[in-house]
Amino acid sequence: MTESHEGDHGVEQGAQRLAAIAETMKDAWARTIEDMRARADAYEEQGWAAITVAAGDTAPEHPDAGPAGRFGFVHVLPGDTASEIRETVEDGEFSEYDVFRATTSGRVFLVTELLDPDSRTVICVAGSYELRTVGPLVAAADEAGVCYTHLQTLDGTVVGSFEHEDYEKFVPQVESFRD
């Protein structure tokens, strides 16, 4: 009996494709972190206090998926930043926001700026989510007329929640996710 090596070429090509995608995602994440830090630096140069956090995970959550009908973009914070952000959120009123995003290979990389103009404090959150998962959240946001950003710890403890009326900023080509 002879061994067949015909499938080896396809396996090798698949592995190379996966490696290329992983490298693309790694580069996109690095650019997102750089952008977040540059934005925070710009605020600090203007006299603002800036906190930066790279979410360990980000997901669009629709009302049926999260706790008690909660919906929005959920960012899981690393433990070392959660207490600082909790204190900052408790001390301020983050009434403004902005979102900067890029899409690469079906994944959205974003920096969300949560701003408290009175205390001149900004929280910059870097996150990434799979674009194909956002449809149910878009439907919920369209129905409610708002969307939310939730910052939480790995165990689900909410550190802060923020309402956004212009939620289209979070989703590229938002119209393609509407019925």
Euclidean distance between CA atoms 113 and 89, whole angstroms: 13
Contact 106, 87 (CB under 8 A): no
Total structural domains within the chain? 1
Residue 145: inside a domain: yes
Residue 63: inside a domain: yes
* pLDDT at residue 14, as a whole number: 64
Residue 117: inside a domain: yes
**pLDDT single digits (tens) 61-74:** 988 876 777 899 99
Residue 133: inside a domain: yes
* pLDDT at residue 25, as a whole number: 85
* pLDDT at residue 7, as a whole number: 55
pTM: 0.86
Residue 70: inside a domain: yes
- Tokens 């205390």 sit on residue: 119
Sheet containing 121-130: order of strands: 49-54, 121-130, 107-116, 96-104
Residue 34: inside a domain: yes
Residue 147: inside a domain: yes
Q: Which residues of the chain are under the pLDDT cut of 50? A: 1-2
Residue 23: inside a domain: yes
Q: For residue 176, which amino acid is it? A: S
The whole domain housing 40 covers 8-177
